[in-house]
Amino acid sequence: MHGHQPRRRFGQNFLADPHYVARIVDAIAPGSGDNLVEIGPGLAALTRPLIERAGHLTAIEIDRDLAHQLASEFPPGQLTLHVADALEFDFAALGPALRIVGNLPYNISSPLLFHLAEFESQLADIHVMLQREVVARMTALPATPDYGRLSVMLQAIFRVSRLFTVPPGAFRPVPSVDSAVARLVPLGAMKPQIADAALFGRVVAAAFGQRRKTLRNALSALCDASALEAAHVDPTARGETLAVADFVRLANALAGQQ
């Protein structure tokens, strides 16, 4: 741990197993000139091999003590360091074709993914390690227990895939959950056309707000049964049965009525 006391408020569990470090770096496959951005480099387990293969890395680290250690180990030619909160960071300032990497704190994983999605036009890909259950929700298909708001909101923007799991013993301190590595690639031209992104988000959130409710009841504040039927959505269905395309069609139909 290099004398560093992990801070619970930052959700610090540091990857320490060389086998999984190598697997993650190989999955990312960094190349010279890549615009690599690491969120939460911590003790630099991934930072070092990424810099070895890409030559340069931009890092965002909220912990000032760790940022100081990183700055003392890597010269500016190898590491551009921002001491900042990734949840508030303006990734637009880092240029195009961003390749985001991170062992994300589990307590902020969903908000951080939504924040990154705001910069989709500048992203090449995202490789993140998260709690295994979160990755299951990210990759879930309709009509499965893990399918929900996170699934729909991310799959409307990215092609999401789980690469492999990482056991608790690969970290220091050892967490109480398994982890998994996920890859997110922007859909680009294949992205569905959403007329009103804010309305789409409200529709999805309401549909999964109380999973046992039918859409007629769950979306009553946004539309009535006739509007659902006009969008070819069964008012008696539940949100978990709708595919991403169904949510897009419904939200676009409601946007057209405003």
pLDDT digits (tens, 9 = 90+) for 161-183: 999 999 999 997 788 889 999 99
- Cβ atoms of 108 and 11 closer than 8 Å: yes
Residue 42 is assigned to a structural domain of this protein: yes
- From CA 223, how far away is CA 23, in angstroms rounded? 47
Domain count, the chain: 2
Task: Quote the tokens at residue 88.
Answer: 């508030």
Based on the domain organization, do 160 and 39 belong to the same domain? Answer: yes
pTM beyond 0.85, yes or no: yes
Structural domain boundaries, residue 244: 197-256
Biggest CA–CA distance in the chain, Å, is: 63
Based on the domain organization, do 134 and 212 belong to the same domain? Answer: no
Residues 41-92 have pLDDT tens digits of: 988 999 999 999 999 999 999 989 899 999 999 999 999 999 999 999 999 9
Measuring CA to CA, which residue among 123, 48, 40, 116 is closest to residue 81? 40
Based on the domain organization, do 13 and 138 belong to the same domain? Answer: yes
Give Cβ neighbours of residue 243 (< 8 Å, ≥ 6 apart): 142
